[in-house]
Structure 1
C-alpha cells in the first residue's frame, strides 16, 4: 500500500471521529475549557499513534471499530502532552503545527486545564469502550503505564534535566524511549491486547518493533530540527539547539544520525519479518517514519 495515501485517508476519517467525540462532550459546563481541549486536538497533527493502532488492527484481523476508542484515547494523551510540553515552564514554544500553542491562543491556566482534562478524557473513553472487560482493563493499564511515570512523563522529566548538559547515547536513547517511544509502543500493545491468539513471543516481537520505530522516530525528529524549516515543521526550527539539548546530530553529527536512524529502522524490520502475519503495512509505516520531512 501507499502509506502516505493511507495516512491521508485515515487522517480525514479520524479527524471526523474527533469532531464527533467532542460534539458528544457537553460544552456548557466550562465553554472556554471545552474550546481549549478541542483546539489542542483538532489543530492538525499527523495522527501517527492512532494510525499505528489501526495498522495493527489490520495486521491482526481486528475489527477497526473495536479499537476506535483506544485510538482516540491515544490521541488525547498525545495532545495533552504537547499542550503541557509547550508551556513556558517546559519548552516554552509559541507555535505548534503552524498555529499558536494552546497557552498562546487561550491562556496558561486553561492550557494546563486542557491538558489535564484531555488526559482524564482518554481513560473515560477506554472505560466506556464497547469491548470485553479484560481487553478494556488491558488498555487502561497499557496507556496508564505508557503515559505516566514509567513512560512519557518520566521521559519528559529526564529530557528537562538533560537541558544544558551533555548526555551519552545510552541516556539519550532512554529519554527518547520513554518520552516518544512509549506511546508508539502503547499503540502496538493495545492492538496486541485485542487479539487473544497471539503468543507471548509474537507479542514481544511486535512490541520490540514498536520500541525501535519509536527510537527511529525521535532520531528523525532530531535530524529535522536541524534540516527542516519552521514552515515545514510547524514549530520553531532549531528549538532543540535553543534549549541546549543533547540530540543525535549533536552527538553523532548529521551524517552519523542519519546512519543511526537507518540502523534502527533495519533492526525494527528484523523483529517482525518472520511473524505469521502480513506485516508489510508495519514495514511501510517504519519506512515512512525515517523518510518523513516534518
Structure 2
C-alpha cells in the first residue's frame, strides 16, 4: 500500500523535451543520503598496503561525481510521479561500486572520466532497477533498502515497477545520447555488452534460477551459477563497459572481464556472510532474510569460516588479473576489490 497520497500525474507545468544531458564537473555535487559513502567508509578497514593510494578519498570523490551526474540525468519533469520515484531510489545513496568500477577500468586502459560517466550512470540505473524490482512483494518483499522505505512502500507497487522499467530503458538512451569522445563502434559494443549482461543470459537468468531454487536442495555449483549471473554479471558489465569506453585492447578487456567475474562472485559471498553476521541497522536493509526464507547461501553450504576462505581466494584471483597492468593505474581497482572483500555492510 502506498504511503503517499497519489496526486495527479501532471502538475500542469509544460513537459520538458529531452536533450542529451551532459555531465558538468564544475556543478556543485549533491550530498549523499544518510548512508553516505563517508559513513560507509568509516566501517571499512583497508588492508595494509605499500601503495600510497588514498582509496577513501578516491571513492568519495568519484561517488559524489556519479551522484551529481545522476542528478543531472534524471531531473523532475512530467509525469512528475514517475520521475520522483526514479530519483527516490537512484539518489538514495549506496556505495556506487559499479559506476566507480566503470570509471576506474576506463582510466586504467587510458581513457578519462568524462568518456565513462554516461556508462557509469547507466549501470547504476540498472542496478537500482534490479533492487526496486527485487524488493517487490512478488519477489523478496522487502520494506527497507539503504536505510529507507523501499520504493513500492512509498510510491506503490505499480509505480515502482514502471519506474524500474523507465530506468532500464533510459540507461541505454543515456549511453547512446550522452557519451562524448568515444568512437561510435565502441559505444555500440558497450550497449550490446550491457544488454547481454542483464538479459536472459545474465542478471535475469540468475534471478529466475534463484526464484526457482527457493526451498530446493542445491549444491555449490548451482549456487555459483545463480550469483555469477544475478550479481557478478552487472559488476562484470560495469568493468567491461569502462574498458571499452577507454579504448582498451581485446586482451585488456578480457583480463578485466575475468577480474570482474571474480569480484562479482566475491561481492555475493561477502553479502551472504554479512546477512547472517550483521544487524538490519548495520546493513541498512533487512538482515537475516536469507535464513528466514530458507535460501541457499554460501554460509549455509560451506559454513562461515569456509565462506571467508573462499572470499579470500576470489580476491586473490581477481587481483592476479591486474598483474600485467601498471600498478599505479591499477591501484583503484585493487583497492575496490579489497573494499568488496572487507566491507562491513
TM-score (norm. length: structure 1): 0.95
The correspondence of residues 213-224 of structure 1 with structure 2, limited to 5 A, is 213-224=263-274
Please state if 1:125 is matched with 2:177: no
Cα pair 1:192 1:203 within 8 Å, conserved: yes
Query: 1 CA distance for matches of 2:170 and 2:257?
Result: 25
Query: Does structure 1 retain, via aligned residues, the 8 Å contact 2:115–2:246?
Result: no
**3-state SS of the aligned residue for 1:18?**
helix
Q: Is the 8 A contact 1:84 1:115 kept in 2?
A: yes
Match of 1:253 in 2: 303
- Picking from 27, 31, 34, the partner of 2:83 is 34
Candidates 237, 246, 249, aligned match of 2:287: 237
Matched, 1:226 2:285: no
Change (3 A) 1:2 1:197: closer
Q: Say how many residue pairs are matched.
A: 290
- Residue 105 of structure 1 aligns with which residue? 154
Partner of 1:143: 194
- Separation of aligned partners in 2, 1:3 and 1:125: 28
Which residue number corresponds to residue 13 of structure 1?
A: 65
Equivalent residues of 2:112, 2:246 under 8 A apart: no
Range moving further from structure 2, 240-249 or 1-10: 1-10
Alpha-carbon separation, structure 1, partners of 2:241 and 2:217: 35
Partner SS, residue 46 of structure 1: coil
Query: For residue 63 of structure 1, what is the aligned residue in structure 2?
Result: 112
Pick the aligned partner of 1:190 from 236, 241, 256: 241
Q: 1:51 aligns with which of 100, 115, 136?
A: 100
Deviation at 1:101, TM superposition (A): 0.4
Q: 1:238-282, CA deviations, whole angstroms, 9 ceiling, x for partnerless residues?
A: 011122111010001011110110011111111221335632221
**Cα shift readout 1:69-110 (whole Å, capped 9, x = no counterpart):** 101111110000100000000000000001000100110000
Partner of 2:262: 212
Deviations, residues 15-50 of structure 1 (Å, cap 9, x unaligned): 111111122xx612x111111111010111111100
Structure with more of its chain in helix, by fraction: 1
Question: Is the contact made by 2:109 and 2:247 (CA closer than 8 Å) also made in structure 1?
Answer: no
Alignment partners' CA distance in 2, 1:50 and 1:119: 15
Distance 1:219 1:97 in 2: 19
Consecutive unaligned residues in structure 2, runs of 5 or more: 1-52
Contact 1:165 1:244 in 2 (8 A): no
Conserved in 1, the CA contact under 8 Å of 2:110 and 2:247? no
Question: For the residues of structure 1 that align with 2:106 and 2:97, how far apart are their CA atoms?
Answer: 14
Asked if residue 170 in structure 1 is aligned to residue 221 in structure 2, the reply is: yes
Secondary structure at the counterpart of residue 287 of structure 2: coil
In 1, distance between residues paired with 2:299 and 2:248?
A: 41
Contact 1:40 1:102 in 2 (8 A): yes
